[in-house]
Amino acid sequence: MEANTRSTGRLPAAFLTPGSSSFMDFLSEHQPEMLPGKRQLPPTQGVIEAPHGTTIVAVTFPGGVVLAGDRRATMGNVIAQRDIEKVFPADEYSAVGIAGTAGLAVEMVKLFQLELEHFEKVEGAQLSLEGKANRLSTMIRSNLGMAMQGLAVVPLFAGFDVDRDRGRIFSYDVTGGRSEEHHYAATGSGSVFARGAMKKLFRNDLSEEEATTLVVQALYDAADDDSATGGPDVARRIYPIVTVITEDGFRRLTDEESSEIARSILARRLEQPDGPRAALL
């Protein structure tokens, strides 16, 4: 079977059989061993050590949603990578940020992007945002076996719902359980601290600029209290990845833009290390 996709022979029957618009369904029939969830796992003792991505945050604002992530990957107490990318466009109107086992998560994102693109090409129409969120659930569920061995992948999915004309956020647990989050959400080891920061800073009428600043503030607070989350690295010029999804589609802030936000926050934190204060009453 495999040879057929590598040589330039005739398309195998499976390619020309009318069927599902899902690439994953096609793969599971044609080449199931290519799917991450169908892999045979060797018996292992204890927890497998692999780089972990840490904190992802998202916040909605009128007209869209912002999804951002820090750049650190850790393996135990070691920093495995300082400039990892953990936020990816899923398609034109959605993005996914991943915390958990980095290698598996990146692979899952790649398959998820392909799944959405494949559907779009075959059907000539995009999936609904809800449909995309559900598809991601299925993929996490198929990783449950590995999650049980400590190789969990916990994404945060954000997108602009063109039918409802607003940004939406979906969070997941390791079993694929999905829940829609209102206003803001965070996942990963630094998420508790990031969530606390966002809880105090969030308002219903944020502008796009304020929302992008808010997520960087939250990531700073996460890095402040969680050793696995990386703060803005001024010396190496490594700044958080910030993405914005609006009616106009997905946009990733350039390095200059995110460095500007990070630097202005850093400057203020030199004066006030705990960051902006919310009113007591």
Partner 1 sequence: MSTPFYVSPQQAMADRAEYARKGIARGRSLVVIQYADGIVFVGENPSRALHKFSEIYDRIGFAAAGKYNEYENLRIGGVRYADLRGYTYDRDDVTARGLANVYAQTLGTIFSSAGEKPYEVELVVAEVGATPDGDQIYRLPHDGSIVDEHGSVAVGGNAEQISSYLDQRHQEGMSLAEALKLAVQALSRDTNGTEREIPAERLEVAVLDRTRPQSRKFKRIVGRQLGRLLEIDGAATEAESSDEE
54 part of the active site: yes
Strand partners, 187: 56
- 174, 236, 171, 184: which is closest to 210 by C-alpha? 184
DSSP structure string for 20-70: -S-HHHHHHHH-GGGSGGGPPPPP--SPPP--EE--EEEEEETTEEEEEE-
Q: State the nearest-atom distance from the C-beta of 34 to partner 1, in Å.
A: 7
Binding mask 19-38 for partner 1 (x = CB under 8 A): ----x--xx--xx--x----
* CB distance 242 to 215 below 8 Å: yes
Closer residue to partner 1 in complex, CB, 120/161: 120
Q: State the nearest-atom distance from the C-beta of 159 to partner 1, in Å.
A: 17
Query: Between residue 39 and residue 98, which ones bind partner 1 under the rule CB under 8 A?
Result: 92
Query: Between residue 87 and residue 146, which ones bind partner 1 under the rule CB under 8 A?
Result: 92, 110-111, 114, 117-118, 121-122, 124
Element (H, E) at 138: helix 129-142
Contacts by 74-77, CB closer than 8 A, 24 or more apart: 74/227, 74/228, 75/49, 75/50, 75/51, 76/49, 77/227
Query: Should residue 160 be labelled a site residue for partner 1 when binding is judged by CB under 8 A?
Result: no
Which range of residues in 14-22, 133-141, 157-165, 178-186 is near partner 1 by CB under 8 A?
14-22
Catalytic residue annotation: 54
Which residues sit at the interface with partner 1, rule CB under 8 A? 5, 8-11, 15-16, 18, 23, 26-27, 30-31, 34, 92, 110-111, 114, 117-118, 121-122, 124
